[in-house]
Chains A and B, each alone.
Chain A
Amino acid sequence: MKISTDRKMLALTGIVTGVVAFILVMLGNPGNMGFCIACFLRDAAGSLGLHSASNVQYLRPEILGLGLGAFIISLIRGEFRPRSGSSPLLRFLIGVCVTIGALVFLGCPLRMVLRLAAGDFNALFGLVGFVIGIGLGCIALNMGFSLGRAKESSRLEGSGISILYVVLFIILVAAPGLLRFSTEGPGSMRAPIVASLLAGLAVGALAQRSRLCFAGGMRDIFLMRDTTLVTGFLAVFLSALVVNIVGGKFSPGFEGQPVAHTAQLWNVLGMVVVGFGSVLLGGCPLRQIIMAGEGNSDSAVTVLGLMVGGAMAHNFGLASSTSGPTAGGKVATILILVFLALVSMTVIYANRRKEADA
C-alpha cells in the first residue's frame, strides 16, 4: 500500500510532537503537559496580569515558538497569506468558550491525547465528549454553518500576532519584572526558556507543513470518511505512549493523575464544548495558533479569545482543579453549549435565507 505524502508528514509531526512533549515534562513542565494550548494561553494571560490566580502565571515560550515556527516556515515556503474578515467577533467569543470548556476538563485536545498516552483514563471521557462535540459541529457544517469568507489583508495585519510574540519574548528575557511568575503550582513548573522556545518552533513549523489538527482528523472522518488528518492524532498518541512506557512515566488509572480530576460527566461535557467550538472555528486551539502564524487574522483574534477565556475561567472560578469542577464551571459549560447551539442555528438560518434570496 502506498502511503500518501500528506499522511507521512502528519505521522512525522505527530511522532516529533509526542517525543518533544515528553522531553519538556522531563525538563520541568507540569505532568502530561509538555504542550497544552489552553493551559499555556491561560498561563500567559496570568503572566500578563489578565487574571490573578497566582499558581498559573507564566508566559510560556512554547506558545510563542509555535506561532513563530508557523510564521517563519510559511514565509519561507511562500504560504504566508494575510487575510481577515470572517466573523472575527464570533470567533473571539467561540474561542473564549473553547478555553473555558478545556479548563473544565483540564486540557486542550493535544493535552487530552498526552494524558491518554500517559495512562490517565479520565481523558477517555474527555475523548468521548470531544468526539460528540465534533459530531455536533459536523451537523452544523452539513446544515450550512459557515463563518463567512475572509478577504486578503495587509502583510502588517497578517504579521501582527507574530510581531506581538517577538515583543513578548523580548520582555520575557529582558524585562521579566513586567510579568507575573508563579512561585508554586503548575505555573511554577517550567522547562528552560530556550528549550521551550525551540520545542515550540519545531512543532509549530511541522504543524504548519502537515496541517496537524486534533479536531480536523475526526471532522474529516465524519464529513468525508477520510482518515488522512487523524494520522497526526494517532501518531502523537503512539509516540507519547512509547516514550512514557520506555521512560517509566506510564501510570494507568483514574486517581491521582497529574492536573486532572475524576468528575467524568464534566470531563465529557467540557470536551463537548471544545469539539463543537473547534469545528465551528475550523480547527483546534493548536491549529488556530498555526493558522494565525500563516497570516490569518481571524485565527489571531481566536487565539486572543482563547487567552481571554483562560483569564475568565480563573477570574470567575470556572476552571476545574484536581479536586473537580466548580459550580460556576458546571453552569458555564451548560450555558456555553446552549450558546454554541444558538450561534450555529442563527448562522445556519441567516446563510439559508441569503442562499434563497440569491
Chain B
Amino acid sequence: MDSCTGKVVITFHSHYDATRQKRRLSQHGISCALIPVPRALSSSCGTALMLDAEDYSDSLLIDGVEGAYENMEGKWSDLLIR
C-alpha cells in the first residue's frame, strides 16, 4: 500500500467490525474502502478501512476498532490505539 498519502486507515478486531464501520460511515455520507491491513502497519492480515484524512473523526468509530493511522507523505502516524 504505497499510495496512501492523505489517507487514514482504520484497523479492526474482525472483518465484520470493518463492514459495520463501513456501513456507519456510509450513513454519514463518508466514502471509504475495505482494504487488507497494510503490511507497514501490522504483521496480521485482517480487513481495514481506508478513507480521506479530512473525513476522519473519532466520534464515528464503533467499538470494534483496534487502531487508526494517518499517512503523511508515506509515513504512518498513530491517531488512535485501543
Among B20, B35, B43: residue with most chain A CB under 10 A: B43
Q: Which of A5, A223, A287 contacts B47 (CB 8 A)?
A: A223
User: Chain B residues with Cβ under 8 A from A211's Cβ?
Assistant: 39, 43-45
User: Chain B residues with Cβ under 8 A from A229's Cβ?
Assistant: 36, 45
User: Chain A residues with Cβ under 8 A from B35's Cβ?
Assistant: 224, 226
Closest-CB distance, A356 to chain B (whole angstroms):
12
Q: Which of B15, B19, B33, B45 contacts A213 (CB 8 A)?
A: B45
Q: For residues 68 through 109 of chain A, which have their beta carbon under 8 Å from a beta carbon of chain B? A: 74, 79, 81
B13 at the interface (CB under 8 A from A): yes
Closest-CB distance, B64 to chain A (whole angstroms):
9
A146 touches B1 (CB 8 A): no
B19 touches A142 (CB 8 A): yes
Q: Which of B19, B36, B43 contacts A294 (CB 8 A)?
A: B43
Interface range for B? 20 to 34
User: Chain B residues with Cβ under 8 A from A283's Cβ?
Assistant: 45
User: Chain A residues with Cβ under 8 A from B46's Cβ?
Assistant: 282
User: Chain B residues with Cβ under 8 A from A146's Cβ?
Assistant: 13-17
B58 at the interface (CB under 8 A from A): no
CB closest residue in chain A, given B17? A146
Closest-CB distance, B18 to chain A (whole angstroms):
9
Given A4-B1, A144-B16, A351-B16, answer yes or no on A223-B63 (Cβ-Cβ < 8 Å). Answer: no
Q: For residues 33 through 78 of chain B, which have their beta carbon under 8 Å from a beta carbon of chain A? A: 33-36, 38-40, 43-47, 63
A353 at the interface (CB under 8 A from B): no
A6 touches B13 (CB 8 A): no
Q: For residues 195 through 215 of chain A, which have their beta carbon under 8 Å from a beta carbon of chain B? A: 208, 210-211, 213
Q: Which of B2, B15, B43 contacts A141 (CB 8 A)?
A: B15
CB closest residue in chain B, given A4? B2
B43 touches A2 (CB 8 A): no
User: Chain A residues with Cβ under 8 A from B63's Cβ?
Assistant: 358
User: Chain B residues with Cβ under 8 A from A355's Cβ?
Assistant: 20
A40 at the interface (CB under 8 A from B): no
User: Chain A residues with Cβ under 8 A from B19's Cβ?
Assistant: 142
A270 at the interface (CB under 8 A from B): no
Among B1, B15, B40, B47: residue with most chain A CB under 10 A: B15
Closest-CB distance, B49 to chain A (whole angstroms):
10
A6 touches B16 (CB 8 A): no
Closest-CB distance, B11 to chain A (whole angstroms):
12
User: Chain A residues with Cβ under 8 A from B47's Cβ?
Assistant: 223-224
A149 touches B16 (CB 8 A): no
A157 at the interface (CB under 8 A from B): no
Distance in angstroms between the alpha carbons of A259 and B13 in the assembled complex: 39
User: Chain B residues with Cβ under 8 A from A294's Cβ?
Assistant: 43
A22 at the interface (CB under 8 A from B): no
Distance in angstroms between the alpha carbons of A2 and B3 in the assembled complex: 10
B36 touches A142 (CB 8 A): no
A141 touches B16 (CB 8 A): yes
Closest-CB distance, B41 to chain A (whole angstroms):
11
B34 touches A9 (CB 8 A): no
B1 touches A6 (CB 8 A): yes
Closest-CB distance, A256 to chain B (whole angstroms):
37
CB closest residue in chain A, given B19? A142
Q: Which of B15, B17, B44 contacts A223 (CB 8 A)?
A: B15
A224 touches B43 (CB 8 A): no
User: Chain B residues with Cβ under 8 A from A55's Cβ?
Assistant: none
Q: For residues 1 through 36 of chain B, which have their beta carbon under 8 Å from a beta carbon of chain A? A: 1-3, 13-17, 19-20, 33-36
Given A6-B1, A294-B43, answer yes or no on A226-B16 (Cβ-Cβ < 8 Å). Answer: no
Question: 6 smallest A-B Cβ distances: which pairs?
Answer: A146-B14, A141-B15, A144-B16, A224-B34, A79-B43, A6-B39
B→A interface (CB under 8 Å)? 1-3, 13-17, 19-20, 33-36, 38-40, 43-47, 63
